[in-house]
Amino acid sequence: MMVDYVRNITFENPQWFWLLLILPFLVLWYFLNHKKQNAAVKISGLSGFKVKQGLLPKLKPLLFVMQMLGLTLLISAMAKPTTVEITQHAGTTEAIDIMMAVDVSGSMLARDLKPDRLQALKEVAVKFVKERPNDRIGLVIYAGESYTKTPVTSDKNIMIQAIESVEYDTRIKDGTAIGMGLATAVSRLKDSPAKSKVIILLTDGVNNSGQIDPHTAVELAKKYDIKVYTIGLGTNGMAMSPVARLPNGKLHFEWVQVEIDEELMKEIAKKTGGQYFRATDKDKLENIYEEINKLETTEIEDFTYRNYTEKFRPLVLMAGVLFLIEFLLRHTLFRSFV
Side-chain-side CA neighbours of 199 within 13 Å: the count stands at 37
Positive or negative torsion for Cα 167, 168, 171, 174: positive
Query: pLDDT of 257-284, one tens digit each?
Result: 888 999 999 999 999 999 999 999 999 9
Widest pairwise Cα distance in the chain? 129
**Are 126 and 290 in contact, with CB atoms under 8 Å apart?**
no
From CA 55, how far away is CA 217, in angstroms rounded? 99
How many whole angstroms separate alpha carbon 261 and alpha carbon 267?
10
Q: How far apart are CA 76 and CA 69, in angstroms?
A: 11
pLDDT band at 185 (very low <50, low <70, confident <90, very high): very high
Is the pLDDT at 121 greater than 80? The verdict is: yes
Confidence at residue 37, expressed as pLDDT on a 0 to 100 scale: 56
| Residue 314 preceded by cis peptide, ω within 30 | no
Give me the domains of the chain, ranges plus CATH numbers: 2-34+57-86+307-337 (no CATH), 96-297 (3.40.50.410)
Asked if residue 81 lies in contact with residue 10, where contact means CB atoms within 8 angstroms, the answer is: yes
Beta-strand pair 146-153/238-245: unpaired
Please tell me the least confidently modeled range out of 110-124, 162-176, 266-280, 293-307: 293-307
Please determine, for residue 42, whether its predicted confidence score (pLDDT) is greater than 80.
no
R_g of the chain, CA atoms, integer Å:
40
Mean residue pLDDT of the chain comes to 84
Q: Say whether pLDDT at 214 is over 60.
A: yes
296 vs 187 pLDDT, higher one: 187
Residue-wise pLDDT tens digits, 231-259: 999 988 888 888 888 888 788 889 988 88
- Sign for the CA dihedral angle at 311, 312, 317, 319 comes to positive
Listing DSSP states for 99-167 in one string gives EEEEE-SGGGG-TTSSS-HHHHHHHHHHHHHHT-TTSEEEEEEESSSEEEEEEEES-HHHHHHHHHT--
Partnered with residue 117 across adjacent β-strands are none
Q: What is the pLDDT of residue 184?
A: 97
| pLDDT in the model for residue 1 | 43
